[in-house]
Amino acid sequence: MKFVVASDKLYKHLQVLSGVLNNNNTLPILDNFLFELEAGKATISASDLETTMTTSLEVLTEDAGSIAIPARILLDTLKSFGSSSIPLNFKVEEKTLAVEVTSEQGKYKLSGANGSEFPKAPPIEGEKSFEIDGYILSTAINRTLFAAGNDDLRPVMSGLFFEIHEDSLHFVATDAHRLVRYSRADVKAGEAGSCIIPRKPLNLLKGITTSAESLVEVKYTESNIHFAFDNIRLMCRLIDGKYPNYEAVIPKENPNKLTVNREQLLQSIRRVSIFANKTTHQVRLKIAGSELHVSAEDLDFSNSAIERMSCSYVGDDMEIGFNSRFLMDMLSNLDGSEVVIEMSAPNRAGILVPAEKTDDAEDILMLVMPVMLNN
């Protein structure tokens, strides 16, 4: 079995797949890329049993068959060729499964494995489906995934909740201390449904869907979800369980509204938080009239910092504490020059929304729980 492919072209495809690879696989076959050949084409797969990703590219071959090639050594070899487009001749010995790669510079030998041992992704049957623009999907993941939890005891919170309505789509992430809901009114699913997608495949998708030339086709069942666009297919197992009723924790009445420059507030919290307690990361927001005081202190080391900035505020004078890391994450993932922080009381959740919409089809809401103030 033989095929010829350009080194840079192959490396580009394998780099995309390499995110699926684990360092400690339960099955040795998963340390390989699966190459499946047919006339003029190679389909390459990587899997960790939970997530399987496949890409296809044109190669020079008339052969058909499959071979599993060690992933790390192949990636390192291709990387060493740099950005040059060097023709590589792959030759597979049918009996021994030895793989010989020949280039202008020399010859390299690897020991392959039987392609039939590579786990096959289960077929998607009886699925619901919809299509979404790749840039929108990437934006939704970037805006929300940072707020997902990583508690093994609550696996449903470690993923991203897709809540699919006939005329809109909600992406929700929470770790019980903060929550982000990102909604799109320009995604028509046709059929309502929901699923919880693990973090790893979403991290893979957000990097590669931004530049997708075709719409991303999404198919899902109760146990699996499948993303297909351009020449890439990604399938993963869904997180089993019921997502918490996130709507119930979003306070509806928030009479106190603070409008402030987003970037100035972010930089202020960045500076002040250096002086905060390293356990609570607490920063204090004190709002009176058109002045906002941002402060932090660490009583154990007698460290403290305070900054003053102008703002627009409607409501009663207020003092409230938040985890600085959570606030910085949220402010970094919002667009627009100004942000509105809506509050009801120092012991109730605060809501962050952009002051102005940049996209009519987009709606984003971020919620953060307060930290009790030490007075």
* pLDDT tens, position by position, 309-361: 999 999 999 999 999 999 999 999 999 999 999 999 999 999 999 999 888 89
Residue 25 pLDDT exceeds 90: no
- The Cα–Cα gap between 78 and 70 comes to 12
pLDDT tier at 84 (50, 70, 90 boundaries)? confident
Of the candidate ranges 148-152, 174-178, 193-197, 234-238, the one whose mean pLDDT is the lowest: 148-152
In this prediction, residue 210 has a pLDDT band, given cuts at 50, 70 and 90, of confident
Which residues does 149 contact at the CB level (< 8 Å), separation at least 6? 157, 158, 174, 175, 176
Question: 53: which 2 tokens?
Answer: 């990703």
Other C-beta atoms lying within 10 Å of the C-beta of residue 141: 24
**Does residue 369 contact residue 249 with C-beta atoms inside 8 Å?**
no
Q: Please determine, for residue 185, whether its predicted confidence score (pLDDT) is greater than 70.
A: yes
Please give the pLDDT value at position 373.
78
Q: What torsion do the CA atoms of 56, 62, 66, 68 make, to the nearest 10 degrees?
A: -70
Neighbours of 364 (CB within 10 A): 23
Interatomic CA distance for residues 103 and 88, integer angstroms: 5
Least confident of 24-28, 90-94, 234-238, 276-280: 24-28
Looking at residue 239, what DSSP letter applies? P
Q: How many CB atoms lie within 10 A of CB 297?
A: 19
Share the mean pLDDT of the chain: 94
Q: Could you report the per-residue pLDDT of 153-176, keeping only the tens digit for each?
A: 899 999 999 999 988 999 999 999
Q: Are 43 and 71 in contact (CB under 8 A)?
A: no
Contact, 95 vs 158, CB < 8 A?
no
Give the bridge partners for 352, in sequence order. Answer: 341, 366
In this predicted structure, the answer to whether residue 119 has a pLDDT above a threshold of 80 is yes
CA neighbor of 199 nearest in space, from 233, 151, 242: 151
User: Average pLDDT in the 237-261 region?
Assistant: 94
Q: What is the mean pLDDT of residues 82-88?
A: 91
pLDDT for 357 equals 86
Mind listing the pLDDT tens digit for each residue in 60-80? 999 999 999 999 999 999 999
Sheet holding 2-6, edge to edge: 2-6, 87-92, 98-102, 107-111
Pairwise CA distance, residues 26 & 93, whole Å? 27
pLDDT for residue 375: 58
Q: Measured on CA atoms in the order 174, 185, 353, 249, is the torsion positive or negative? A: negative
pLDDT band at 211 (very low <50, low <70, confident <90, very high): confident
Q: Name the token pair of 176.
A: 């019980």
Q: Across-strand partners of 36?
A: 43, 66
Domains defined for the chain, CATH in brackets: 2-117 (3.10.150.10), 128-247 (3.10.150.10), 251-368 (3.10.150.10)
| Model pLDDT, residue 103 | 93
Mean pLDDT of 128-152: 93
Structure confidence at residue 374 as a pLDDT band (50, 70, 90): low
Residue pointed to by tokens 């991290």: 203
* Count of Cβ atoms closer than 10 Å to residue 51 Cβ: 19
**DSSP state letter for 267:** H
pTM (two decimals): 0.91
Say if strands 160-164 and 98-102 run parallel, antiparallel, or are unpaired: unpaired
pLDDT grade, residue 237 (50/70/90)? Answer: very high
Q: What is the pLDDT of residue 120?
A: 87
In the sheet with 282-288, reading across from the earlier edge strand, the strands are 303-310, 291-298, 282-288, 318-323
